[in-house]
Copies of this chain bind each other. A is one copy, B any other.
Amino acid sequence: MDRAASFGAFTYHGGALEVARRLMPDAPKPWIDLSTGVNPHAYPLPDLEPEAWLRLPESGALAKLEAVAAQRYGVDPACTVAGPGSQALIQALSRLLPHGTVGALGPTYGGFAAAFAAAGAHVIEAGRLDALDALDVGIVVNPNNPDGRITPRGALVDLHRRLAERGGILVVDEAFADFDAEAESLARALPRRAAVVLRSFGKAYGLAGLRLGFALASPDIAPSLRAALGPWPVSGPAIAIGAKALADSDWLKAARARLSEEAARLDALLRGAGGRIIGGTCLFRLAGRSDALADFEQLLSAGILARPFADAPARLRFGIPPDENAWERLALALRG
């Protein structure tokens, strides 16, 4: 197996199970994908009305979804813009927000840098929060991916004030805020201008294939973002499933309790196998491993896909195993 080639495929994004299958055709089946931060216990799919598939989604149905999401995230429905995944919202923002110098507090999720660079922005990675002060668009992933670092809400509010005074805009990606650090969410303190908070439906509800996410945008940005997405930005199934799931607070509470326990169990397993826990959220844990690449390959040969990082050869990120069989196979594979 070509270490460099495989690493390139796996460090771009998680979820490249097809590459893993090709590289390791003899690995035990089924493959266990721990390379993403998607909730492995998905919201149960409701029966869908045929109309969800057949008809163009009506604007009233989209507005209802946005109202339910607004209630869930604690913002005004007028500020809540649904899109086909939070990445699609990042893509739209990269074209819409001022083109200039854009930076994220890093190291972090690479999807912002790729989108804004493709849109023509000068993209930097900031090592400290106050290095974002001078930018046109400052980006904070909170909690951060992959290390779970939490930026307190007060610090975000201060950063926003400094940015907005200079005409800059703050984007906070709360893709992993559903089960962690909710008290630090900027959503409930959404500024009146120059701010966007992103929320992912697919990760929290385990339905990443559905493509649904939300921008909670200040009133100066929401209408133009809505216009940039156009009519019918979200599929009929995503509207129906999203509206049901986002209103289900019992499910959310149970998921939070379960994932919190499982994250602790994963920490114990990784520590027991000689790793150090650097951080994470309820949906993934980042482990320090002395030779993460060797561990990654050992797991791969056992039919388990973890998440390596091109710029951090001593770190592996692990999603939550989906079932007892996966827990056992992971424990076995980590023992080597």
Q: How many copies does the complex hold?
A: 2
Bound-state CA distance A111–B227 (Å) is 11
Q: B211, B229, B238: which contacts A91 (Cβ < 8 A)?
A: B229
A53 with B210: CB separation less than 8 A: yes
By a CB distance below 8 angstroms, the chain B residues around A191 are none
By a CB distance below 8 angstroms, the chain B residues around A248 are none
By a CB distance below 8 angstroms, the chain B residues around A96 are 95
What residues make up the interface of A, taking CB atoms closer than 8 Å to B? 13-18, 33, 36, 38, 42, 45, 51-61, 84-85, 87-88, 90-91, 95-96, 111, 114-115, 118-119, 202, 206-211, 224, 227-238
B209 with A237: CB separation less than 8 A: yes
Bound-state CA distance A54–B238 (Å) is 12
A230 with B53: CB separation less than 8 A: no
A111 with B230: CB separation less than 8 A: yes
Bound-state CA distance A301–B75 (Å) is 39
Q: Which residue of B lies closest to A83 (CB)?
A: B84
* A211 with B234, Cβ < 8 A, contacts A95-B95, A202-B56 known: yes
Q: Which residue of B lies closest to A42 (CB)?
A: B54
A157 to chain B, nearest CB (A): 29
Excluding A18-B59, A84-B84, 10 further A-B contacts by CB distance (< 8 Å) are A15-B55, A17-B55, A54-B207, A55-B209, A85-B232, A95-B96, A209-B235, A210-B235, A211-B232, A211-B236
By a CB distance below 8 angstroms, the chain B residues around A33 are 55
* A209 with B230, Cβ < 8 A, contacts A38-B55, A53-B42, A56-B36 known: no
By a CB distance below 8 angstroms, the chain B residues around A54 are 38, 42, 206-209
A115 with B230: CB separation less than 8 A: yes
By a CB distance below 8 angstroms, the chain B residues around A238 are 235
A236 with B224: CB separation less than 8 A: no
Q: Which residue of B lies closest to A53 (CB)?
A: B209
Q: B51, B115, B209, B228: which contacts A56 (Cβ < 8 A)?
A: B209
B88 with A230: CB separation less than 8 A: yes
By a CB distance below 8 angstroms, the chain B residues around A42 are 53-54
Bound-state CA distance A18–B55 (Å) is 12
By a CB distance below 8 angstroms, the chain B residues around A84 are 84, 88, 211, 233, 235
Q: Which residue of B lies closest to A57 (CB)?
A: B209
By a CB distance below 8 angstroms, the chain B residues around A237 are 209-210, 235, 237
A230 with B58: CB separation less than 8 A: no
B224 with A118: CB separation less than 8 A: yes
Q: B16, B45, B59, B229: which contacts A53 (Cβ < 8 A)?
A: B45
A230 with B17: CB separation less than 8 A: no
Bound-state CA distance A114–B226 (Å) is 12
A230 with B114: CB separation less than 8 A: yes
A241 to chain B, nearest CB (A): 8
By a CB distance below 8 angstroms, the chain B residues around A91 are 228-230
Q: B15, B90, B210: which contacts A230 (Cβ < 8 A)?
A: B90
A235 with B232: CB separation less than 8 A: no
The 5 residue pairs across chains A and B that have the minimum distance between CB atoms = A209-B236, A118-B227, A91-B230, A95-B95, A211-B235
Listed by A's residue number, 8 A-B pairs whose Cβ atoms lie within 8 Å are A13-B56, A33-B55, A54-B207, A88-B232, A118-B227, A118-B228, A210-B236, A235-B235
